[in-house]
Amino acid sequence: MRICIDGLNVNYIDEGFGTTDVLLLHGWGGSIETVMPIFNILHNKCRVVSLDLPGFGESDIPKESWNSYDYANFIYKFIKKINMKDIVVFGHSHGGRIAIILSSKYDNIVSKLILIDSAGLIPKRKLYYYVKVYWFKFLKKMYTTFSTANTKEENLERFYKKFGSADYKEAQGIMRQTMVKVINDNLSYLLPSISVPTLLIWGENDEDTPLYMGKIMEEKIKDSGLIVLKGAGHYSYVDSYDQFKAVILVFLKENFNK
């Protein structure tokens, strides 16, 4: 299915029925397909909606670079347009950023929140990180100064293809600028404003959004609990699928019995 919001065409799926609406928000670089394991658990128990976030999958790329708040505002409009209410929101990684904003700044939209290996906090920086950053900046300056490309833009493109992160290399144009914005959004100050029941699910070995982030969120979100999936990584819901399934079904038991 497709829907147009603010001039952007968005690809989404909307299946199931019942008294509970569920919204699945995928992570950076993901799509509807990456949250299908969660969709398959729930679609025969309630209404489940999943979309390709703008810039991913089959949805249009935003016309200008966005931050996490822009994404949340867009999703709020999406929610209103397809008539979702009292939503259980699942947010994985980047989708967690959006879910945090929706549940803290938009009243009466979210009824329960499930954050899976969520982004939204600025990671702790070790000395190695700063050495790496300064070295990266030095290489960038040298590469763009002495490269044989015809234009500055060509120089930068060659540089990032050679030295940039995997996500940055895969992103293009506006989405590169967007990636820089969202990873620098520190949503820590919003966590105490979340008042809905919140389940935090984390992979023990998550290297992208490490476990300590989940512990910080548990401390700051009033009505929250943290479940750690042993041996799982950033895609903990895939790595420990059976345990993940059991945990969310218990958390949502009351929703399914209405």
CATH of domain 2-122+187-256: 3.40.50.1820
The answer on pLDDT for 42 being more than 60 is yes
- Report pLDDT for 78: 98
- Report pLDDT for 154: 60
Burial classification of residue 118, based on how many CB atoms lie within 10 Å of its CB (0-12 exposed, 13-18 middle, 19 or more buried): buried
Tell me what the mean pLDDT of segment 116-121 comes to.
98
Q: What is the CA radius of gyration of the chain?
A: 19
The answer on pLDDT for 112 being more than 50 is yes
Residue pLDDT, tens place only, 174-197: 998 999 899 999 999 999 999 999
Q: Which of 57, 93, 52, 92 is nearest to 74 (CA)?
A: 52
In the chain, ranges of CATH 3.40.50.1820 domains:
2-122+187-256
CA dihedral 178, 77, 4, 26 (to 10 degrees): 50
68 vs 171: which has the higher pLDDT: 68
The answer on pLDDT for 129 being more than 80 is no
Q: Which of 48, 45, 39, 100 is nearest to 71 (CA)?
A: 100
Q: What percent of the chain has pLDDT over 70?
A: 81
Tell me what the mean pLDDT of segment 238-248 comes to.
98
Contact 168, 183 (CB under 8 A): no
Residue with tokens 């679609």: 43
Q: Which of 86, 90, 108, 109 is nearest to 99 (CA)?
A: 90
Residue pLDDT, tens place only, 52-87: 999 999 999 999 999 999 999 999 999 999 999 999
What type of residue sits at position 15? E
